[in-house]
């Protein structure tokens, strides 16, 4: 199967604004810890006023995944909407400089490019506060049919159910992908996001619109509204062709039919910032998967990439994942 792209990802195009804070700050500002909190322009202004000195880095869950695939040496493409402003140019630069195909047209200057204020607590956990800005403009017109048709896997974020018309773009992407014999994939994104769109996500899986599902433990439990993780895994395995569930320091488990393949987490020196962990797991997994590697090795590449990104500030590894994969003897 020769294609132009290994992985196409679709998501909210976001620049991260990252700062450290104490846990008390989250409580004082009613920020749900470890979650993605959606905020409007007014609250964005307020939180930014209260935020300490920060650094900026291109982010967005699926954008991070595309960058990760490319860093492994995979051929990646991305759809996502920025505005024609300085943050939009930064986002565009960074993803293209990583070698990712990115041609979604920016849309005017208002609303501005999305930003997520990420507060990293001393335990390394990140709590995100996302103003969607220009992301609300993403719609079916932004689908590049030839790119979808020529990508082995089209992957998208559950977060895309938050803006109004992105889901239409996704349904169209999945239709084109399957019409061309490709596979589709999604991440459940966030346990609260699952809470908002549970029935729609289950429908995407059960209708066969989505083939491969990425989730973490909390998202899986939320999807099936249970505290029984083992049962949730069984249900998830029945609802999609392939799933990979991450479990922080316990690594991940890959589900295919009745098969469960455990994957150990990589050893880390210091947990600095969990931002991007799930996104980079998906990057490593999908890179391996689209190279035709065995599922366990795909999982190991996912854990490797996740382990690297949580030892730095920011959502995308600054070094080459290809080099890291080679050094670890995985590729």
Point out which residues bind a copy of itself (CB under 8 A).
17, 19-20, 48, 51-58, 67, 85-87, 90, 93-95, 97-98, 112, 313-314, 316, 318-319
Q: Which is nearer to a copy of itself, 13 or 245 (CB)?
A: 13
Instruction: Provide the strand spans (E) within 210-315.
Output: 212-216, 242-246, 252-256, 259-263
- Closest to 249 (Cα-Cα) out of 224, 228, 268, 262: 268
Q: Which is nearer to a copy of itself, 314 or 325 (CB)?
A: 314
CB of 189 to a copy of itself, least distance (A): 23
- How far apart CA 20 and CA 252 sit, in angstroms, is 28
Q: Which is nearer to a copy of itself, 195 or 319 (CB)?
A: 319
Q: Which is nearer to a copy of itself, 51 or 236 (CB)?
A: 51
> Rounded to the nearest 10 degrees, how much is the dihedral formed by the CA atoms of 227, 233, 236, 237?
-160
Task: Please say whether the beta carbons of 261 and 292 come within 8 A.
Answer: no
DSSP character string of 29-69: TTPPTTSEEE--HHHHHHHHHH--S-EEEE--HHHHHHHHH
- How far apart CA 168 and CA 161 sit, in angstroms, is 9
Q: What number of residues does the chain have? A: 331
CB of 51 to a copy of itself, least distance (A): 6
Cβ-proximal residues to 77 (8 Å cutoff; 6+ apart), any chain: 5, 7, 8, 9, 66, 100, 101, 102, 144, 147, 151
CB of 50 to a copy of itself, least distance (A): 9
> Rounded to the nearest 10 degrees, how much is the dihedral formed by the CA atoms of 39, 209, 102, 37?
10
- How far apart CA 212 and CA 232 sit, in angstroms, is 16
CB of 37 to a copy of itself, least distance (A): 19
Around Cβ 176, how many Cβ atoms within 10 Å? 21
CB of 46 to a copy of itself, least distance (A): 13
Cis peptide before 202 (omega within 30 of 0): no
CB of 89 to a copy of itself, least distance (A): 9
Q: Which is nearer to a copy of itself, 84 or 144 (CB)?
A: 84
Q: Which is nearer to a copy of itself, 56 or 259 (CB)?
A: 56
Q: Which is nearer to a copy of itself, 223 or 280 (CB)?
A: 280
CB of 323 to a copy of itself, least distance (A): 12
Q: Which is nearer to a copy of itself, 131 or 201 (CB)?
A: 131
> Rounded to the nearest 10 degrees, how much is the dihedral formed by the CA atoms of 24, 197, 287, 127?
-10
Q: Which is nearer to a copy of itself, 7 or 176 (CB)?
A: 7
CB of 42 to a copy of itself, least distance (A): 16
- How far apart CA 238 and CA 56 sit, in angstroms, is 40
CB of 103 to a copy of itself, least distance (A): 16
SS3 117: strand
């Amino acid at each position: 199967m020769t294609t132009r792209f290994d992985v196409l990802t679709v998501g909210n195009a976001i620049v991260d604004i990252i700062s450290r804070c104490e846990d008390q700050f989250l409580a004082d500002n009613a920020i749900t810890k470890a979650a993605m909190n959606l905020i409007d322009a007014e609250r964005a202004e307020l939180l930014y006023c209260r935020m300490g000195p920060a650094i900026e880095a291109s982010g967005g869950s699926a954008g991070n995944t595309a960058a990760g695939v490319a860093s492994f040496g995979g051929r990646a493409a991305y759809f996502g909407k920025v505005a024609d402003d300085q943050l939009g140019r930064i986002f565009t630069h960074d993803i293209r400089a990583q070698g990712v195909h990115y041609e979604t047209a920016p849309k005017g200057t208002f609303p501005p490019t999305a930003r997520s204020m990420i507060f990293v607590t001393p335990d390394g956990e990140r709590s995100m506060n996302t103003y969607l800005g220009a992301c609300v403009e993403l719609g079916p017109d932004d689908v590049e049919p030839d790119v979808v048709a020529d990508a082995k896997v089209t992957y998208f974020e559950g977060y895309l159910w938050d803006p109004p018309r992105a889901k239409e773009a996704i349904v169209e992407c999945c239709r084109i992908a399957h019409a061309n014999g490709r596979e589709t994939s999604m991440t459940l994104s966030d346990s609260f996001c699952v809470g908002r769109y549970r029935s729609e996500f289950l429908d995407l899986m059960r209708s066969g619109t989505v083939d491969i599902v990425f989730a973490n433990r909390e998202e899986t439990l939320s999807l099936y509204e249970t505290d029984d993780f083992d049962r949730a895994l069984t249900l998830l395995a029945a609802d999609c062709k392939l799933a990979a569930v991450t479990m922080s320091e316990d690594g991940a488990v890959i589900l295919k039919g009745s098969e469960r393949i455990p994957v150990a987490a990589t050893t880390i020196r210091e947990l600095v910032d969990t931002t991007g962990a799930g996104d980079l797991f998906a990057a490593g997994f999908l890179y391996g998967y689209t190279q035709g590697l065995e599922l366990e090795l795909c999982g190991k590449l996912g854990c490797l990439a996740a382990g690297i990104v949580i030892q730095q500030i920011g959502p995308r590894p600054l070094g080459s994942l290809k080099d890291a994969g080679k050094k670890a003897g995985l590729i």
